[in-house]
Amino acid sequence: MPLQRAYNRRPSPRTAPPFLKGPGRFLAHYVYRRRLSFICLAIMVVAASSCAVAVQYVMKLLVDAMAGPRDSGLAETALMVFIIFIAVESILWRLSGWFGCRTTLAIGVDMRLDLFEFLSGQPMRYFSDNPAGALGQRITSTAGNFGALANTIVWRIVPPSVDFLGAMVVFSIVDWRMAIALAASVLVITLGLIIFGEHGRRHHREYAAHASDACGDLVDIITNMWCVKAFSAQRNEQRRLARIFRREEAAQRTSWMYTEKARLIHDIALWLMAGGMLTWAVQLWRTDSISPGDVVVVSALTFRILHGSRDMALSLVEMVQQFGFIEDTLHVIGQPQTVVDLPGAPALEAQKGAIVFRGVSFGYEDTRDAVHNIDFSIEPGQKVGIVGPSGAGKSTLVHLLQRLYDVHTGEILIDGQNIARIRQDSLREKLAVVPQELVLFHRSVMENIRIARPGARDDEVFAVARAAQCDLFISRLANGYHTLVGERGVKLSGGQRQRIGIARAFLKTSPIIVLDEATSALDTESELKIQNAIVEFRDRTVIAVAHRLSTLNNFDRILVMEHGSIVEDGTAAELRARAGLFERMWRLQANGLALDRAA
């Protein structure tokens, strides 16, 4: 019953926030956050577009004035108004460009930060299933798509819409029948193109998915270029990329050609509309129903509507594409988070570092339990090693302690507090972890060590580097502690990366240190020195998953795992005396070492 109650208290998976559940909500969320900026921007754009329509009408007045008496002064007045409207229009467009730039770029920053924040809450299994390059490209392109979408609406949809409304007013003054004909034609054409564009959404979404996958595969190959060269796999990888790029090309071609079809339909429809309106205006002039200025304004506005509505129609189709790209990103990044904090969860208050595993079982996805019914406790300040054959569940215990996954049954306590009921960040603040496969940021050695405690002094960094046996090789680097280590630390050997990882674990002032095969790439002498340095941390609890059993001689206890369970517990001497699994592993390693020396 206690185990079942612990299971029932596990937090439910956290679904994406509402604004991540569709491109419409997503965009509305950010527009609303900066609604005042968008209102000001809309006013500027509408005013500038209105000035452009007014310029066309003032041109009619100018033409009519020129056709009348020359001494009336109307031509000079119309000319002055014409020049003023052009100047005001230009100023408003420049101001809207400046304002739009600041607003859309600021939202792009907010958008990327929000997407990254939700992405960082995903479990480690998620990052195994989704390539880093593809995720990064999706986050970056989403901000770019929003910028393109905002530009499309503000400068390619709003102005033609204002032009259309202005033309309706002007045409009503000239001939109300022309206004009705214009309205009907534009509405039918626009509605048809919207419906046509909506049917093409799946093509644009498929292209977005293929583009992200192609980027992810390319980044993956570049990241593993050493492996490509080592196994002479350049041609195979190039052929693989060729297949991926061709699939992307086919999807892009389908998306592109669908847009071209929309352009063709629009061109035919607008050609018929423009020809009809101009013919109608000329016939009215022939019967003296309208003035020459009216013909000029009808001609100018018809061609303005012709080009503006074409841009608007194409923009509506492009908007569907951009919506498709954003929808694809939200589908991937907005997946539910499976490791989440309870509402109002408190911070972990841990100073001593006592650890208890109580009836813990866990399995990855649908496989059998990786660890089963684990029970043990570690006193504050104890140094405990974990050993066992490959696949015994050693690293799984370390992952569960960090709460990278939630246990299926049972509970894990630190200083008496269930880690499933406290905030994850506060838990990891109390843990200094060195993983089995350590990668570094493409930054300097100093920055990679100091990431554990950004405010650490230089002398503190130097001290932990000496304790981790990495001060000597760092001093031999081109720029010492300021040497860039390359992407994922490729400029350093595996052992050097591990030592830097150990140094930053030492630098972190946490009550618990966790080492997951953290010295596997070191020579035996360096490993012994580091393990001895670890033992000297009297006030810090240490859990070390180790391959070389001899390096754990000075540890307080050793837990031996097999098939996901703890089968032995004791000091190295006690375990050897029992002649169990630990003793068999010890003899195998000793014999292997003797054979290596003999060779």
Q: What is the CATH number of the domain that holds 106?
A: 1.20.1560.10
Whether residue 243 lies inside any domain: the answer is: yes
Q: What is the pLDDT of residues 467-497, one digit of tens each?
A: 888 888 888 888 889 988 887 777 888 788 8
Please report which confidence band the pLDDT of residue 69 belongs to, taking 50, 70 and 90 as the band edges. Answer: low
Sheet order of strands, 565-570 included: 431-434, 512-516, 541-545, 383-387, 557-562, 565-570
Q: What is the gyration radius of the CA atoms in the chain, in angstroms? A: 35
Whether residue 147 lies inside any domain: the answer is: yes
Whether residue 528 lies inside any domain: the answer is: no
Structure tokens at 362: 């866990």
Query: Any idea which of 115-129, 348-362, 395-409 has the lowest mean pLDDT?
Result: 115-129
Whether residue 527 lies inside any domain: the answer is: no
Rounded to 5°, angle at Cα 440 from 435 and 443:
155
Whether residue 133 lies inside any domain: the answer is: yes
Please report which confidence band the pLDDT of residue 13 belongs to, taking 50, 70 and 90 as the band edges. Answer: low
Are 303 and 274 in contact by the 8 Å Cβ rule? The answer is: yes
Sign of the CA dihedral 482, 486, 489, 490? negative
Quote the mean pLDDT of the chain: 81
Are 556 and 573 in contact by the 8 Å Cβ rule? The answer is: no
**Distance (Å, whole) CA 333 – CA 136:** 10
Count of structural domains, the chain: 1
CB atoms near residue 527 (< 10 Å): 22
Whether residue 510 lies inside any domain: the answer is: no
Report pLDDT for 304.
74
Are 52 and 150 in contact by the 8 Å Cβ rule? The answer is: no
Report pLDDT for 471.
84
Q: What is the pLDDT of residues 407-429, one digit of tens each?
A: 889 999 999 999 989 888 888 88
Nearest to 206 by CA among 272, 156, 253, 139: 253
Please report which confidence band the pLDDT of residue 356 belongs to, taking 50, 70 and 90 as the band edges. Answer: very high
Whether residue 555 lies inside any domain: the answer is: no
Maximum average pLDDT range among 94-108, 214-228, 259-273? 94-108
Residue span of the structural domain in which 184 resides: 18-333
pLDDT at 5 over 60: no
Bigger pLDDT: 294 or 158? 158
| CA separation, residue 489 to residues 286, 311, 437, 451, 580 (Å) | 81, 49, 11, 14, 40
pTM score: 0.65
Report pLDDT for 234.
80
Whether residue 296 lies inside any domain: the answer is: yes
**Distance (Å, whole) CA 297 – CA 170:** 8
